[in-house]
Amino acid sequence: MSVLKHIEIDHFELDSGRVINLRLSYQHFGKSLNDAPVVLVNHALTGNSQVSGTNGWWNSLIGNDKTIDTNHYAVLAFNVPGNGFGGVLDSCTEHYKAFKAKDIARLFLEGLRRLQIESLFAIIGGSVGGGIAWHMAFLNPKIAQHLIPIASDWKATDWLVANCYVQERILENSLDPIADARSHAMMLYRTPESLSQKFNRTRAKEATYNVESWLNHHGEKLSNRFQLSAYKIMNQVLKTINVANDNETFLDAAKEITSTIHIVTINSDLFFKPEENWKTYVDLKPLKDNLSIYEIKSIHGHDAFLIEYQQLTTFLKPIFEIKEEKHEDYKYSFVRNR
C-alpha cells in the first residue's frame, strides 16, 4: 500500500476570504515523480487518494499493466481536505460552507508546486473530481497535456444544486444522517432501469423489498467508514463546481486551455446529464481542435464510470498507451524545478 504523505499549508486564503491552516494529504503510485510522466487522479465524493493497490477504488483502471500503467506512469492523488481519509479531520471541516470547488483546485495546484511538478501528463477525475479538474485547467491552462473529466461537468446545474441541498438537509436533520443521505444519493447514482434489472421487485422478507435492503446496506457501509463532517464538506464542494458565470464566459476561458480535452459522459447519467456535456462539446469544438467526447452506454447511470470498465478502457487506452517512439517525448513533457 502506498504511504499517505502530508503537505503542511499555512495561511491559505479561500475564495471567500477566510484564512485557514491545513494538511494536504496525498499518495503516490508507480514510477518516481522525478523521472516519469505524472498522472493526477481526482477522487469522487466518497473516494480518496487510494486509487490503486490494496482497497484501491479504481483498481480496474490504474495499476501494473492496467490502462494507466504504473510500470510507466507516476500516479498522484490528493485527498480533498476534510474528507477524513487516514483518520485525519482538520479545521477546515468547521468552516465547510466557506469552501468552493475552486479552493480545492487551488490547493491541488499548490500541492503540485510544493512537490515541484510544473506540468502533468494528464489530470483525470470522476464526478466531483472531474469538476475539480476543470477548475485546475481554468486556473492554469497549461497544467496538463490531457484533461479528462469523467461523468462530470464544468458547472453544477440547478438540478445538481437542488439535490445537494436535499443532501444537506438530510445531513443536518436526520437521526441517521450518513445512511439516509447515502440512500437518497444512490437513487441519483443509478437509474430505474438499473434497479429493475438488479431486483425485479423481489423481496428479501415478506415486508422488505430487496431494493430496500440494498439501500440500507449502502447506507450502513458508508456510515462505518465516513464521517458526517466529511460528507458535508464533499457535498459543499460538489454544489460549488462553477468555473464560469455563463456559457459564453466558459467558452472564452476554455479555448485558452492548451490540454487536449477528452470529455467522457454517460448516456443514462441522472446526476451530470449527458446533454450538458454534449452542449459543451458542440459549443467549444469550433474554438478548440484538440477536443473529443466519448459516451459510455449503460443502464446504470452515474455509477457507470465505476462499473463499465471495458468501455472506459476503450476510450482511455489510446491516451495512455506507451509507444517507444513517444516515450522519450513524454519523458521531457514535464519540467521539474531541481
Architecture of domain 5-156+242-331: 3-Layer(aba) Sandwich (3.40)
In the DSSP assignment, the letter for residue 7 is E
Name the β-bridge partners of 122: 39, 146
pLDDT of residue 196: 97
Backbone φ and ψ for 232, nearest 5 degrees, come out as -65, -45
For the CA atoms of 199, 201, 204, 205, the dihedral, rounded to the nearest 10 degrees, stands at 170
Q: Cβ atoms within 10 A of the Cβ of 216, count?
A: 14
pLDDT of residue 89: 58
Q: Yes or no: say if 151 and 130 are a contact pair by the CB < 8 Å rule.
A: yes
pLDDT of residue 174: 98
pTM here is 0.93
Which helix (H) or strand (E) element contains residue 284? helix 274-284
pLDDT of residue 84: 87
- Ranges in the chain annotated CATH 3.40.50.1820: 5-156+242-331
Q: Is 119 left (phi over 0), alpha (psi -120 to 50) or beta?
A: beta
| Cα–Cα nearest to 243, from 256, 260, 231 | 256
| Cα–Cα nearest to 261, from 162, 154, 182, 174 | 154
pLDDT of residue 1: 62
In the DSSP assignment, the letter for residue 8 is E
In the DSSP assignment, the letter for residue 230 is H
- Please identify, in words, the CATH class of the domain defined by 159-237: mainly alpha
Report the distance separating Cα 271 and Cα 318, nearest Å.
27
pLDDT of residue 325: 42
- Ranges in the chain annotated CATH 1.10.1740.110: 159-237
Report the distance separating Cα 126 and Cα 303, nearest Å.
10
In the DSSP assignment, the letter for residue 117 is B
pLDDT of residue 206: 79
Average pLDDT, consecutive stretches of 10 residues, N- to C-terminus, the chain (338 residues): 90 92 95 95 97 94 97 97 77 81 97 96 98 98 98 98 98 98 97 97 89 96 94 97 92 96 98 98 97 98 97 97 55 34
3-state DSSP call for residue 189?
helix
Report the distance separating Cα 188 and Cα 160, nearest Å.
10
Q: What share of the chain is helix, strand, coil (3-state, %, to 5)?
A: 45, 20, 35
